[in-house]
Every structure is written in structure tokens, then in C-alpha cells.
Amino acid sequence: MSMINNLRKAVRFAHPRHRRVDLSHPGRSPLGSSVVNCVVYQEGLRQGDCAAYEAIARVRKSGRGFVWIGLHEPSEAEFAGVAELFGLHPLAVEDAVHAEQRPKLERYGDTLFTILKTVRYVEHDRLTATSEVVDSGHVMVFTGADFVITVRHGGHGSLGPLREGLETVPDQLAKGPAAVLHAITDHVVDQYLAVTAAVQRDIDDVEADVFADSRGRGTDAGRIYQLKRELLELKRAVAPLGRPLQSLSQDQLPGIDTDLRAYFRDAADHLARATEQVTAFDELLNSILQANIAQVTMAQNEDMRKISAWVAILAVPTMICGLYGMNFEHMPELRWTYGYPLAIGVMAVACFVIHRGFRRNGWL
């Protein structure tokens, strides 16, 4: 009776005739609802779409299969019905609605709650000091004995293609909700690898610009710093996921059997590779930034040496002109016909000798 009561309470959310929709919300399903899909799977085969309360009633009545409900940025009111229908923990519901958590895995009774951060590489013609390189979002996954609920936040990371791909492999879907969790996790980790490959191209371009200009004038340090900031966004998605994947691949968790733990270990290996790449990129960008700063400093020192050399050269005629500009009556060669040409010649020879000395020492 308790299940029937819960189903009745959730009707106002799940049944389209009783649900208010927000057609202005971007990225929603064509109906305007936060519910993108609600599908029943039995023996790995899709049995059709229906409302949430009808789907779970069908599964629990037959004792076979599971329900996969996909939502996109639901509000608290929209998610309340699903949370009550499936008995989701309030803390997990709060995290799923607000989407401000780092990747993690929580167990609430027989339900697993997994948070994943999705990433997307933002295409750009040339990296600038304000370019957006990495765009991030969230995917929350509730997995129980007979249901999977995915909550997606962000304008990218649609799970539609993933669902369609899984439906072509019914043997994998037949393994239950944990198989869906693995597929989503594997998909997200593959995105990490794709984004790291794209970011590497940006790093290579910046590195080439830095070392192509030995004087350090052609590369803006702001570009390097911006790329480092965007890499930090990627690092926040990749690094914290290591512990949840380790638990999924090693710990005894509800719905995760030995065969599936092997699949999660494979995803953990891919994540480790992405983590190593992100760490290496961070260290490389530090080196590139230091090299750029060193080049700028060397260029400034070279400019200062040139300025100092020209000051020293001009000091000789300045000194001579200063002496003769004191207007004393008795000064050498004041009344000599060739006194002026002699002074000019002495200044020219002195400047030439000093200039030659600086050129020989690399100051000019």
C-alpha cells in the first residue's frame, strides 16, 4: 500500500496532464518539461516511454527490468515528485537540484548517488587573455535496484546519444542500473581525454609563440595565465573523481557486481591518464610562464644596457659643451681659429671610441 500511496502523491509531477511546464527554459525537451526521457527497460530492451509513476509501477509489478528517467535542470518543485516516488534522500535531492558540488559518490541505503562534472572544449580561432577554453556542467546519477535517475545541469553533455548507443547493446543494459552508471561515467571520462587533447594544442601554440620570439615581446603573459585558469577548471572536474571510481571498482556496493567492477576499473585507468595529463599541463604552463617572464626580464635588461651605453657616449660631448658653456674669459683655445673644429673633432673621436667599445662588449 505504501508504494501505491507514493505513486498517487507523485502523479501531479509525473503525469503530463497535471504538470506545469516552462516553455521558456533553454535546452529543455520539446514539451518544455525538465523530464527529457522516462523509459522502461526489460532484458536490456526498451519497452516504451511513459510517465514516471506508470513506469516504476510496471517494473515493480513484473519484478523485471528498471526505469531510466532523464531530467535537465529541474527545479525543487519539479524534482519533489520524483524524489518522493523513489524515496531519494533529502541531502542528495538538494545536491541534485543546486548542482554546486564536486564529484563524489554517496550511499543512502540501497541507493547510490554519484556526482560527475562534465566538460566541453570551447572552440576559438586564437587564444586571447579572455578566451573561454573549458566549459563545465554536472551530471547527477541516482541508481537503485530498479531505477536510474539522471539529472543534468549545463548546456552540454546531453545523454541522448549515450542512451541510443546503449540501446544497441542490450546485453549490457540487461546488467541493470549499474551498467548505465558505468556507461555515463565512461562517457564523461572520455570527454576529459578529448578536452585534454584539445587543450594540449593550445599549450603547444602558446609554447611555440614564447620560444619563437627570443625577446619575449610577441607573447602576452595574460594568454598563458588565462589558459592556466581554464586548466584549473578542468582539474576541478578530473581530480576529485578518482576516489568515487576507486570505490565503484573496489568496494562492495549495492548493484555493483564483480563483472561491473572490472568495467569501472577500466574507466578509472582512463581517468588516471587524464589526471596525469592535466597535472603535466599545469607544470608545463608554469614553466612556460616562467620562461616568458625571464625573456621579458632579459629584454628589459638589454634595453637598459643600450640606454646606459648611449648615455655614456653622450656624456663626453655633454661634458665638453658644459665646460665651454661656463663663459670664463680665460679658457683654452677660445680665440684660436681652429678651436671650434678641434672641439667637435675631439667629441666625435671620443664618441666613436666609446661606441666601438660598447659594440665589442655586446651592449649595442
Structural domains of the chain ordered from first start? 300-360 (1.20.58.340)
| pLDDT band at residue 25 using 50, 70 and 90 as cut-offs | very low
Cell of 94: 538538494
The reported pLDDT for the residue numbered 325 is 73
Q: Is the pLDDT of residue 27 over 60?
A: no
Neighbours of 42 (CB within 10 A): 16
Instruction: Give counts: helices (H), strands (E), the chain.
Output: 11, 7
Q: Is the pLDDT of residue 24 over 60?
A: no
CA distance 117 to 101: 9
CA distance 108 to 143: 10
Q: Is the pLDDT of residue 212 over 80?
A: no
The residue to which cell 658644459 is assigned: 322
Q: Is the pLDDT of residue 320 over 80?
A: no
Q: Is the pLDDT of residue 296 over 60?
A: yes
Give yes or no for a contact between 69 and 150, defined as CB atoms under 8 angstroms apart.
yes
Mean per-residue pLDDT over the chain, rounded: 82
Q: Which amino acid is at 141?
A: V
The reported pLDDT for the residue numbered 269 is 95
Side-chain-side CA neighbours of 76 within 13 Å: the count stands at 5
Q: Is the pLDDT of residue 31 over 70?
A: no
The reported pLDDT for the residue numbered 115 is 95
- Between 78 and 25, residue with greater pLDDT: 78
Query: 299 phi and psi, to 5 degrees?
Result: -65, -40
- Between 9 and 65, residue with greater pLDDT: 65
Q: What does the pLDDT average to over 20-36?
A: 44
- Strand order in 66-72's β-sheet? 45-49, 35-42, 66-72, 147-153, 134-143, 111-121, 104-108
Q: What does the pLDDT average to over 192-221?
A: 80
Cell of 81: 515528485
Give yes or no for a contact between 187 and 271, defined as CB atoms under 8 angstroms apart.
no
Q: Where are the beta strands (DSSP E) in 122-192?
A: 134-143, 147-153
Give yes or no for a contact between 295 and 210, defined as CB atoms under 8 angstroms apart.
yes
Give yes or no for a contact between 138 and 117, defined as CB atoms under 8 angstroms apart.
yes
Q: What does the pLDDT average to over 196-216?
A: 82
Neighbours of 135 (CB within 10 A): 17
Q: What does the pLDDT average to over 46-51?
A: 85
The reported pLDDT for the residue numbered 213 is 66
Q: Is the pLDDT of residue 8 over 60?
A: no
CA distance 202 to 181: 32
Task: State CA 337 to chain mean position distance.
Answer: 80
The reported pLDDT for the residue numbered 215 is 58
Q: Is the pLDDT of residue 3 over 70?
A: no
251-286 tens-digit pLDDT = 888 888 888 899 999 999 999 999 999 999 999 988
Check: pTM over 0.85? Answer yes or no.
Answer: no
Side-chain-side CA neighbours of 14 within 13 Å: the count stands at 25
Phi-psi region of 109 (alpha: psi -120 to 50; beta: other; left: phi over 0): left
- Between 177 and 158, residue with greater pLDDT: 177
Angle among Cα 183, 189, 191 to the nearest 5 degrees reads 105
How far separated are the first and last CA of the chain, in Å rounded? 93
Q: What does the pLDDT average to over 83-108?
A: 91
- Between 335 and 124, residue with greater pLDDT: 124
Element (H, E) at 170: helix 170-173
Q: Where are the beta strands (DSSP E) in the chain?
A: 35-42, 45-49, 66-72, 104-108, 111-121, 134-143, 147-153
Give yes or no for a contact between 309 and 364, defined as CB atoms under 8 angstroms apart.
yes
Q: Is the pLDDT of residue 364 over 80?
A: no
